[in-house]
Chains A and B, each alone.
Chain A
Amino acid sequence: MSLLASLAAAAQLGATAPAAADLSEARWLAPDTDVLAFLTEAPGECLPATLRTSAAAQVEAGRALFRSPLIFGGPAARYGLSCNACHRDGRSNPRFFFDGLSGEPGTADVTTALFSASREDGVFNPRPIPDLVGAGAKKSLGSAGSFHDLEAFIDAAVAEEFQGDVEPSLVAALAAYLRALDPAACTGPRSIGLATALADFRRALDAADAALARADHALADALFLAALQDLQRVAERYRPLPALLSRIHAKAAELTSARRAAAQSPEAGRAALRRFRSGLADFDAALSAAQADSLYDRDVLAASLKR
């Protein structure tokens, strides 16, 4: 019986970083992580600038889905675990840690029933989370090297590791994004701020519009959700500012209406999206004006973490 030992061990363990639980981006971190550094800087994406255009709609769709927990099912979706949580900016994540899933920080046991039973092997065997840059050029994929097709690998990972049930067009988009990640395009660490968060949001909206233009309902719907999740991450940073938080919630309600319109017809959805986007400049300006008081500000964030 190990209960006494585990109770005693539990008493020795420290709490997670203060306020980290409030920000979904900081949910999966090792206890000794410099949370402030993690929340203000990311490794940098290796996506060639030439692909960041509407011509690369498929890549942009995959990029947005990569950041959305709602392509998964089960506990991953419910607790906000996305592809990006483990593969930050498509790279690895040396600070990733989850009790019962990780051994050392930066590792994960993908053959556990914690998120899905399909691959449970009865052994705790966490492995280093790989950098996905260059994955599209690999001839074998997966921890056992048993996949030789990127789409099949993604489909299996989403379904078998995280109880996701995604349409082929979503898998194709994710594959297009991973294929686009190019070692030669790596820029090095980037700052995280309101501007980058709003850019992510707008890129997800653009991708949703492009999917509607192709009448790809499933992909468009998943991208609406991805955009809403982007907006939620912004909202988390504006929690200290109730008036702006209300404004973000109102925007979310407006976007949800556009999503409903898109479910009726792509044309109605695109029209609703156009209306939504026509009000974004004012919205962005209001958020920017208050950024210094939000959790995007390094000092405000640092003070919040200390509390």
Chain B
Amino acid sequence: MKFTEAVAAALALCLTGSGAAAAPSSGPPAPSAPSGPQVNPQTSFEEGIAALQAGECKKAEKKFGEVLSIASRHAEANYYMGLAKTKCGKDKQAIKYFERAIKERENFVEAREQLALASIRLGDRAEAEAQRDAIKSIVAACTDETCDAPYVERAKKAAAKIEEALAPAPAPPAAEPPADDEPLGDQPGGAAAAAAFEPLFLTDGDAGAARYREAVKLINQQRYAEAIEDLYLAQAISGPHPDILNYLGFAHRKLGKFVEAKDYYAQALAMNPDHLGATEYLGELYLETGETKLARKQLARLEKLCPFGCAEAEDLARLIAVKESARAASTE
């Protein structure tokens, strides 16, 4: 299943209010989770979707606020927060979240569509036209390899819907409730909230985890571009998780996209500073960019995190040794 088709369907769950929510996360919090108020962003994500489907916009705002307090750059969470704001009549606030979702994923046509529609309601036709044109450009750039047919169909419908909304006279600006100055991600749930994650690979009975494992299979087969599509889908279903961000970093790195990879590792480590995989793979990235000192720092961090040894530390240590012996051989 291609990402584009499946994500559109997943997002449609909220737009149409149909379908069932994913199962709540199971198992206890990770033992290493820091103390303090516990937020499970996956649970909050699922509860937010359920609230949106039930038309409970305030609850949806709260839940996606909790998610964004942990993962402020999660594209889907920003999109859903935008939807929640829209449903609560807060178009001006909604626009910030749609913009954030698009910033994280340029081809997020659902977010572009909602941004355009909210902009029209606020009287900003130029922004709506810009989003319509952006969607058309995305469609024009599509090939059979990069976009599947349902995605293209959905994008065309989004552009047509914006066109239709642009046709009549612009609507008067919506009445805006006063509190419209909250910063992105600074939502109920609190910045100090601590996240609780269980390894997604080991999670049973969860559609997002199952999709994540499909991505792991593709990564093992070195089919990185396809793996990225599955990882985006896992993220759309399950909400933010550092394991997904870590493998997004890994897959991008294997495709030579070091800037994106580093960014994903940074996001994973922001969510869970003790994440072994992201710590290891960021070290590997440093090795590949010739920053051996930084790679050694990552190894030192892993050795601290793994008092009983772990594969992440072993693999990074081995790669550093290989790199250093190659360098020594070349200087002889």
Report which of B1, B217, B309 forms a contact with A114, defined as CB distance below 8 A.
B217
Q: Is the CB of A13 within 8 A of B201?
A: no
Please encode chain A, from 93 to 128, with 1 for each CB lying within 8 Å of some chain B CB and 0 for all others.
000000110000000000011111100100000000
Report which of B13, B209, B221, B303 forms a contact with A120, defined as CB distance below 8 A.
B221
Q: Is the CB of B314 within 8 A of A99?
A: no
| A21-B23 in contact given A78-B312, A100-B210 (Cβ < 8 Å) | no
Q: Is the CB of A21 within 8 A of B198?
A: yes
Contacts of A114 in B (CB 8 A): 213, 216-217, 220
Contacts of B37 in A (CB 8 A): none
Please encode chain A, from 7 to 35, with 1 for each CB lying within 8 Å of some chain B CB and 0 for all others.
11111111110111110000100010000
Report which of B205, B312, B315 forms a contact with A99, defined as CB distance below 8 A.
B205
Q: Is the CB of B308 within 8 A of A228?
A: yes
Interface stretch, picked from B26-34, B81-89, B139-147, is B26-34
26 A-B residue pairs with Cβ-Cβ distance under 8 Å, sorted by A, are: A1-B1, A1-B6, A3-B10, A7-B21, A9-B205, A10-B205, A10-B210, A11-B20, A11-B22, A12-B205, A14-B26, A15-B205, A21-B198, A21-B202, A73-B315, A74-B220, A78-B310, A100-B210, A113-B218, A114-B220, A117-B217, A117-B221, A120-B217, A225-B309, A225-B314, A256-B303
Report which of A1, A13, A78 forms a contact with B277, defined as CB distance below 8 A.
A78
Is B222 part of the binding interface, using a Cβ–Cβ cutoff of 8 Å? yes
Is A249 part of the binding interface, using a Cβ–Cβ cutoff of 8 Å? yes
Contacts of B276 in A (CB 8 A): 78
Q: Is the CB of B205 within 8 A of A14?
A: yes
6 A-B pairs with least C-beta separation: A15-B26, A13-B205, A77-B311, A232-B308, A113-B217, A21-B27
The complex places the Cα of A99 from the Cα of B18 at a distance, in Å, of 27
Is B19 part of the binding interface, using a Cβ–Cβ cutoff of 8 Å? yes
Please encode chain B, from 282 to 314, with 1 for each CB lying within 8 Å of some chain A CB and 0 for all others.
000000000000000000000100011111101
Contacts of B201 in A (CB 8 A): 75, 78-79
The complex places the Cα of A99 from the Cα of B209 at a distance, in Å, of 10
Is A61 part of the binding interface, using a Cβ–Cβ cutoff of 8 Å? no
Is A229 part of the binding interface, using a Cβ–Cβ cutoff of 8 Å? yes
- B290 shortest CB reach to chain A, Å: 25
Is A278 part of the binding interface, using a Cβ–Cβ cutoff of 8 Å? no
Interface of B toward A, CB cutoff 8 Å:
1, 5-6, 9-10, 13, 18-23, 26-28, 31, 198-199, 201-202, 204-207, 209-210, 213, 216-218, 220-222, 237, 276-277, 303, 307-312, 314-315
Q: A4-B13, A73-B315 are in contact. List 20 more A-B contacts (CB 8 A).
A: A1-B5, A1-B6, A3-B10, A3-B237, A11-B22, A13-B23, A15-B26, A18-B27, A21-B27, A21-B28, A69-B311, A73-B311, A75-B201, A78-B276, A78-B277, A79-B201, A99-B205, A114-B213, A115-B220, A253-B307
Is A50 part of the binding interface, using a Cβ–Cβ cutoff of 8 Å? no
Q: Is the CB of B314 within 8 A of A22?
A: no
Most buried by B among A14, A19, A117, A239: A117
The complex places the Cα of A69 from the Cα of B28 at a distance, in Å, of 23
Contacts of B26 in A (CB 8 A): 14-16
> Closest chain A residue to B311 by CB distance?
A77
The complex places the Cα of A249 from the Cα of B218 at a distance, in Å, of 37
